[in-house]
């Protein structure tokens, strides 16, 4: 046994730390701006690229993948080297990972505000960036597993287990949810449609929360909390149980994002059951984290780093109680589409992710730059501003969410909706939106204090050499019950796990995708037809502008919703929707049955100035749709791509796509002309109007056609037609 001396790569940790600070400010600044936009629509500034619906995805991506992403890489690169007693496997790969990830973030900032989006929440980036993410993630994985391979510590500490699970699962989720068919360089359609697309998206969406925002951070908790407290973790045995139960249960919880939608009931119940089970491992982890501080409570009183860890872990506990509660179907019936969900994710993001990152940064800066924090008092001030900011934010969102949920479903004694005008349920929330912006501003103020403090601390610091350490080599040391070369075999299962996973996933896809494609004869509602070329272009505008951010297209089968919006939504109506547009929040009314509800000119005026048609509306103006011309250069390619995905367009429809598009546009323009609007036929607004007027109308046409094969739908159609 020879003792080897080596140095840890601290430079890469410093880089990720500084990137975390930068993106925290950017992501939260955008968050504050969009919070103000909901309080006062004028904050949309009248520019396409500063409009709420385009900036909201930028905010979520910046906070999740830029801020939290960099913070977890920072913690993983620091702790992995020390836990495994080795330098990272490859400095080059570390740097490719760092710069590649920053480049991906910049490319997000250069696409999302310009309406280049796939509209799948937390996976909005278009296909070239999706590929870049996959490549950089594999670089990270190879570097990480390579480090495991060359480790000098045979035992793999529990933090590393969490990192392994995160790296493998995120790769899998990203690949499956990003299966899409490119149409042009920056436009693609997902291979799944409607309910299927929704299921894949929320399988991904929920597990992005699980395996990007939770498990890696739990790994960091198991490393940094004991380190900061100078105490071993409360129960190592509990941490192992925590790990295995959490990773097993989390993956099934996705369907709770689709309660009471057209998703089959058994899937909803399955998702709910696993979500409820999640409470146990989650709280096991929280208790393990908090009790690690046993015997160190006197230091919690004075040490702001420990205080931040306590708040972070407490918020983890609160969020993981709230999550299972919200996933109960009857609770979700009230909370879904409201701000309650927004409050829930922010207690996770600001409380758990934010404070974990801040505590780790304050702990790392003195170790990475060899200097104490310049202003310890500001660290304490940051703690208080952050805590108070979160509380203001979350309470405002709870109040707003429950208020709106109750208003939507309120009936008076005579059986009428008490708030039949949707606007009333939004305007009631405005004070809460101001309060939320205040909470967010206070929280951001704390972050700015941290940035200033770190800058003041590291300014002019001499370059610090990489930390030196030494450990006996494992080379040639027989593993327990194994000999010699089996050291290599022992490390290999981790590579094995990765490559089998990828191989099986690819193999599965190769076999399954054609099967899915070939099964185009699924039972459908015969009156549901593909979109026309103009409607499809209009739909792409709807996606691009981010209408789904505030408007759902999924009427749940509750009387309060069918009274307000019309017939509830059915799975068969979405089979040509690549991507699905169910939405997750109703800042405006549901649009699934908006088709035929208003005249064309109403939509025209509404996009120009929403307050002209709906006094008091908080919707931004989309006046550029009235001015910008509709490009038809890729219309044919889009129809062809849709046909490849199984939408039954005829050759004639594809060949004559553009002439037919112009024909339909001319008809709408002529109608607008009656109302005094000239020259609209080649503008984007006409396509959007065509799409909106089509929405949810197909099952009504069944009445006219009297489709004999589908009597129930025909009846429904009759009823719906009656209502409108």
Closest CA to 70 of 305, 385, 354: 354
CA dist list (Å): 479 to 5, 164, 476, 482, 484? 21, 21, 9, 5, 8
CB of 700 to other proteins, least distance (A): 14
**DSSP 8-state code for residue 351:** I
CB of 29 to other proteins, least distance (A): 31
CA dist list (Å): 399 to 198, 341, 429? 28, 11, 9
CB of 216 to other proteins, least distance (A): 16
Establish if 467 lies at the interface with other proteins (CB under 8 A): yes
Cβ closer to other proteins: 504 or 670? 504
Cβ closer to other proteins: 246 or 319? 246
Establish if 139 lies at the interface with other proteins (CB under 8 A): no
Pairing of strands 468-472, 180-184: unpaired
Cβ closer to other proteins: 82 or 660? 82
List binders of other proteins among 50-79 (CB under 8 A). Answer: none
Establish if 150 lies at the interface with other proteins (CB under 8 A): no
CB of 375 to other proteins, least distance (A): 15
CB of 680 closer than 8 Å to CB of 672 = yes
Q: What's the Rg (C-alpha) of the chain?
A: 27
Q: What are the tokens at 155?
A: 């035992």
| Helix H or strand E encompassing 124 | none
Cβ closer to other proteins: 247 or 618? 247
CB of 225 to other proteins, least distance (A): 11
Closest CA to 672 of 680, 664, 684, 660: 680
List binders of other proteins among 76-105 (CB under 8 A). Answer: 82-83, 85
CB of 474 to other proteins, least distance (A): 13
Range in contact with other proteins (rule: CB under 8 A) among 66-74, 109-117, 369-377, 386-394 = 369-377
Each residue 168-197 as x (binds other proteins by CB under 8 A) or -, in order, gives: xx--x---x---------------x-xxxx
CB of 240 to other proteins, least distance (A): 6
List binders of other proteins among 410-429 (CB under 8 A). Answer: 415-417, 420-422
Taking residue 69's Cβ as centre, other Cβ atoms within 10 Å add up to 23
Cβ closer to other proteins: 109 or 417? 417
Taking residue 100's Cβ as centre, other Cβ atoms within 10 Å add up to 18
Q: Do you know the residue count of the chain?
A: 724
Phi, psi for 597 (deg, rounded to 5): -80, -35
Establish if 701 lies at the interface with other proteins (CB under 8 A): no
CB of 167 closer than 8 Å to CB of 141 = yes
List binders of other proteins among 479-508 (CB under 8 A). Answer: 479-481, 490, 493, 497, 500-501, 504-505, 508
Taking residue 545's Cβ as centre, other Cβ atoms within 10 Å add up to 23
List binders of other proteins among 602-641 (CB under 8 A). Answer: none
Each residue 248-287 as x (binds other proteins by CB under 8 A) or -, in order, gives: x--xx---------x-xxxx--------------------
DSSP line for 606-622: HHH-HHHHSTT--PPP-
Interface residue with other proteins, options 40, 135, 297, 366 (CB under 8 A): 366
CB of 10 closer than 8 Å to CB of 79 = no
Number of residues that bind other proteins (CB under 8 A): 99
Establish if 244 lies at the interface with other proteins (CB under 8 A): yes
Range in contact with other proteins (rule: CB under 8 A) among 29-37, 115-123, 465-473, 677-685 = 465-473
DSSP-H helix ranges across 112-231: 127-149, 158-177, 194-211, 215-229
Establish if 515 lies at the interface with other proteins (CB under 8 A): yes
For residues 320 and 314, what is the distance between their CA atoms, to the nearest angstrom? 10
Q: Count of alpha carbons within 13 Å of 136, Cβ hemisphere only?
A: 21
Interface residue with other proteins, options 38, 58, 165, 618 (CB under 8 A): 165
Interface residue with other proteins, options 110, 135, 522, 705 (CB under 8 A): 522
Cβ closer to other proteins: 335 or 716? 716
Q: What are the tokens at 574?
A: 């979405």
Range in contact with other proteins (rule: CB under 8 A) among 162-170, 315-323, 543-551, 652-660 = 162-170
Q: What are the tokens at 696?
A: 């949810």
List binders of other proteins among 214-243 (CB under 8 A). Answer: 223, 226-227, 230-233, 236-237, 240
List binders of other proteins among 538-597 (CB under 8 A). Answer: 557, 563-564, 568, 570-572, 574-575
**DSSP 8-state code for residue 347:** I
CA dist list (Å): 655 to 71, 533, 537, 666, 685? 51, 11, 16, 19, 24
């Amino acid at each position: 046994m020879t003792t080897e001396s080596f140095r840890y790569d601290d430079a890469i940790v410093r880089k990720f730390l500084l990137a975390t600070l930068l993106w925290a400010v950017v992501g939260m600044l955008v968050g504050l701006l969009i919070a103000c936009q909901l309080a006062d629509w004028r904050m949309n500034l009248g520019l396409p690229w500063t409009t709420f619906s385009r900036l909201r995805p930028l905010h979520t991506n910046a906070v999740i993948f830029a801020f939290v992403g960099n913070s977890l890489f920072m913690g993983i690169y620091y702790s992995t080297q020390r836990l495994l007693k080795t330098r990272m496997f490859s400095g080059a790969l570390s740097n490719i990972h760092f710069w590649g990830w920053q480049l991906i973030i910049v490319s997000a900032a250069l696409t999302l505000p310009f309406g280049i989006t796939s509209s799948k929440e937390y996976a909005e980036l278009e296909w070239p960036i999706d590929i870049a993410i996959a490549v950089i993630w594999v670089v990270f994985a190879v570097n990480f597993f390579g480090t495991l391979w060359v480790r000098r510590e045979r035992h793999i500490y529990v933090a590393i287990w969490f990192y392994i699970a995160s790296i493998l699962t995120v790769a899998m989720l990203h690949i499956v949810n990003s299966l899409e068919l490119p149409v042009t360089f920056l436009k693609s359609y997902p291979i799944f449609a409607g309910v299927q697309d929704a299921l894949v998206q929320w399988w991904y969406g929920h597990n992005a929360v699980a395996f990007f925002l939770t498990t890696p951070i739990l790994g960091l908790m198991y490393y940094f909390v004991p380190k900061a407290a100078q105490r071993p973790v409360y129960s190592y045995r509990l941490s192992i149980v925590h790990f295995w139960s959490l990773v097993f249960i989390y993956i099934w919880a996705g369907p709770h994002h689709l309660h009471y939608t057209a998703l089959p009931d058994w899937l909803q119940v399955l998702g709910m059951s696993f979500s409820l089970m999640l409470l146990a491992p989650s709280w096991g982890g929280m208790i393990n984290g908090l009790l690690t501080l046993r015997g160190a409570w006197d230091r919690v009183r004075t040490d702001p780093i420990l205080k931040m860890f306590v708040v972070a872990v407490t918020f983890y506990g609160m969020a993981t109680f709230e999550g299972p509660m919200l996933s109960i179907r009857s609770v979700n019936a009230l909370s879904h589409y409201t701000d309650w969900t927004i409050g829930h994710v922010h207690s996770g993001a600001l409380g758990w992710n934010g404070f974990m990152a801040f505590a780790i940064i304050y702990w790392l800066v003195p170790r990475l730059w060899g200097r104490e924090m310049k202003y310890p008092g500001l660290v304490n001030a940051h703690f208080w501003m952050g805590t108070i900011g979160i509380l203001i934010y979350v309470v405002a969102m709870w109040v707003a969410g429950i208020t709106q949920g109750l208003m939507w479903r309120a009936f008076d004694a005579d059986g009428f909706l008490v708030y039949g005008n949707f606007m009333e349920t939004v305007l009631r929330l405005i004070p809460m939106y101001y309060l939320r912006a205040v909470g967010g501003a206070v929280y951001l103020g704390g972050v700015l204090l941290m940035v200033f403090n770190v800058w003041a601390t590291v300014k002019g610091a001499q370059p610090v050499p990489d930390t030196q350490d030494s450990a006996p080599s494992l080379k040639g040391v027989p593993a327990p019950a194994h000999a010699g070369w089996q050291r290599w075999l022992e490390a290999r299962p981790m590579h094995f796990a990765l490559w089998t996973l990828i191989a099986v996933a690819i193999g599965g896809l190769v076999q399954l995708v054609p099967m899915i494609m070939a099964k185009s004869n699924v039972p459908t509602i015969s009156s549901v037809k593909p979109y026309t070329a103009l409607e499809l272009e209009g739909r792409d505008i709807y996606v691009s502008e981010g209408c789904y951010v505030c408007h759902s297209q999924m009427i749940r089968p509750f009387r309060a919703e069918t009274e307000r919006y019309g017939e509830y939504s059915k799975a068969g109506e979405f089979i040509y929707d690549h991507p699905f547009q169910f939405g997750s929040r109703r800042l405006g009314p549901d649009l699934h049955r908006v088709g035929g509800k208003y005249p064309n000119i109403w939509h025209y005026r509404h996009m120009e100035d929403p307050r002209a048609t709906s006094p008091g509306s908080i919707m931004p103006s989309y006046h550029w749709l009235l001015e910008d011309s509709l490009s038809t250069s890729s219309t044919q390619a889009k129809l062809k791509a849709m046909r490849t995905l199984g939408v039954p367009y005829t050759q004639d429809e594809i060949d004559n796509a553009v002439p037919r598009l112009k024909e339909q546009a001319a008809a709408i323009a002529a109608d607008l002309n009656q109302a005094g609007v000239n020259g609209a036929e080649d503008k984007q607004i006409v396509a959007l109007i065509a799409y909106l007027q089509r929405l949810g109308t197909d099952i009504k046409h069944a009445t006219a056609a009297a489709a004999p094969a589908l009597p129930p739908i025909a009846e429904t159609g009759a009823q719906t037609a009656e209502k409108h």
